[in-house]
Amino acid sequence: RPQQQHARARAAPRAASSAACSSSRPRRALARAEVAARRKRAAAKGGKKRRERKAAAKPARVPTVISDARFKGTVTWFDSLKGYGFIQLDEGDREEALEALERAAAARGGEGRPAGAQPQAPQPASGADGTEPPRIFVHHSNVLTRGMRALGEGEVVEFDLAEHNSSPVAVGVTAPGGKAVSGTLAHRRVPAERVAKHIARLESDDEMAEVLASLDWSAVSWTKLMGQLVRQGLPLRALEVLTFMPSAGIELDYVAYTVGITACGAAGDVDRALELLQKIRDQAARGEGSPPDIIAYAMAVDACAKAGRLEDARELVTQLRADGLEPNHVVQQILITAFGEAGDLTAASECLAEYTRSGASVGGGCDTVSNSPYVAFFAAACSCNAPERVVDVLRELSESCAVGPRLGTYISALNIVDGHSAEACQQVLDYLVDDAIEKLVRGQTADYDFDEDEDEDEE
């Protein structure tokens, strides 16, 4: 058929030939695509059926228990990240284990060995004379415990001896007496995130105490562990870790106390947060540690603000200044948000004015490092049904310095004011347009991300 079409096209005029070719090519391409799609579907369907037939004909290669007895051993090595390790058989169970392996090899009928070869026991851990018991492979899926499945080096366990791919493996691994393994978190390479997830699944304080007692505190990052617990919404568990650390021989420093203050704020325990802050100050007074930094004060102020204790938050700011520090944008944002929720817009305005005048800003207090205090004030003004205060703040910023508010400040103001007051929203837009034109005249276009290759007139 293609040859006939080609012959007719050659005999016809050029225009007719072009029309015939242009109309037939899409049809041929569509036909080829349909044929390819049908072949692909048929191949996929046939491949799936072939895989199903193979899976039905070939049994799953799972470990097969080769002895009814329970064996005892000691974990010599276990990698919690890779999920496997080895167990050293006790001397009293060695002979019985070797006999079970020989019986399993004989039952296989020499499968996997050359003809006439004798079944061999697993290789010993060290030494060629077989003086030490053999090591048994163990996978984390065969460890019977709650939560994260892992083993600690030196832990005594019981298990059933099984065979997988002609090699001995341990299944049904438990502590002596069939209890859950106790050292599941003792390995030094267990990350703090996994420990926190395991703790999150605990239901009682006794289980929490067992987990803390099994931790290798010389390797586990306790600050990361506490931080992970706070992020997962378990601040009380983080405080339990903080309380347990001295009994484990860990000296608490200002970093641990700072994370503890964060946990207290999340748990609503303001008194304990202030107590931990005072402990940092006492350590610094004795020369045993660093004084509280701005982060510790910010977390303490946040704890007071969340609990609605604004007077305590003000006292902390006064104490912060007495220690030679200045409230940064985080502290001012926390205070402005707290005052806005309390309906005290006057106090929020004072905090914002102080932040604008402070040295925490660049360019005369307008092109600030962070616009979070302004965003917090815009939200506070709208929550207090005073969206006009947003326009007043933008006007004051534009009149007080030569740089003016950042573009992000305008965008945040529009997002917050929108829906509260159409008039205030239009005024913010007007200030944005005026500010853009003024910056264009001055050549300060970096804030608006104009293309530098454009002509000045077009810009």
DSSP one-letter code for 385:
T
pLDDT surpasses 70 at 404: no
pLDDT of residue 271: 92
- What average pLDDT does range 40-44 have in this prediction? 75
Percent of the chain exceeding pLDDT 90 equals: 2
DSSP letters spanning 337-378:
HHHHHHT-HHHHHHHHHHHHHSTTEETTTTEES--HHHHHHH
pLDDT of residue 164: 82
6 or 65, which is more confident: 65
- Out of 275-279, 280-284, 420-424, 453-457, pick the least confident: 453-457
pLDDT surpasses 60 at 18: no
pLDDT surpasses 70 at 98: yes
pLDDT surpasses 50 at 211: yes
CA distance linking residue 305 with residue 377, whole number of Å: 15
CB 185 within 8 A of CB 140: no
CB 395 within 8 A of CB 366: no
Band of pLDDT at residue 188, cut at 50, 70 and 90: very low
pLDDT of residue 440: 63
- What average pLDDT does range 52-69 have in this prediction? 71
pLDDT of residue 129: 45
pLDDT of residue 353: 81
- Residues facing residue 79 across a β-bridge: 84
162 to 47, 64, 165, 168, 211: CA distances (angstroms)? 34, 5, 10, 6, 30
CA distance linking residue 253 with residue 274, whole number of Å: 16
DSSP one-letter code for 457:
T
CA distance linking residue 234 with residue 240, whole number of Å: 10
Helices (H) and strands (E) in the chain, counts: 17, 7
- What average pLDDT does range 15-25 have in this prediction? 52
pLDDT surpasses 50 at 74: yes
Q: What does the mean pLDDT of the chain come to?
A: 75
pLDDT surpasses 50 at 367: no
pLDDT of residue 148: 61
Q: Where are the domains of the chain?
A: 60-102+133-187, 343-446
- What average pLDDT does range 325-349 have in this prediction? 86
- What average pLDDT does range 186-199 have in this prediction? 66
31 to 26, 44, 152, 264: CA distances (angstroms)? 9, 20, 64, 70
pLDDT of residue 58: 57
CA distance linking residue 412 with residue 32, whole number of Å: 55
What are the tens digits of pLDDT across the range 146-182? 556 778 778 888 888 888 877 889 888 888 877 767 5
342 or 27, which is more confident: 342
CB 234 within 8 A of CB 213: no
- Residues facing residue 138 across a β-bridge: 85, 170
Tokens of residue 301, six digits: 């102020």
Secondary structure (3-state) at 292: coil
Tokens of residue 377, six digits: 């004030």
Band of pLDDT at residue 252, cut at 50, 70 and 90: confident
CA distance linking residue 114 with residue 361, whole number of Å: 80
Architecture of domain 60-102+133-187: Beta Barrel (2.40)
pLDDT surpasses 60 at 281: yes
CA distance linking residue 175 with residue 399, whole number of Å: 74
pLDDT surpasses 60 at 398: yes
Give the 3-state DSSP-derived string for 121-186, with helices as H, strands as E and coil as C. Answer: CCCECCCCCCCCCEEEEEEHHHECCCCCCCCCCCCEEEEEEEEECCEEEEEEEECCCCCCCCCCCC
CA distance linking residue 277 with residue 325, whole number of Å: 15
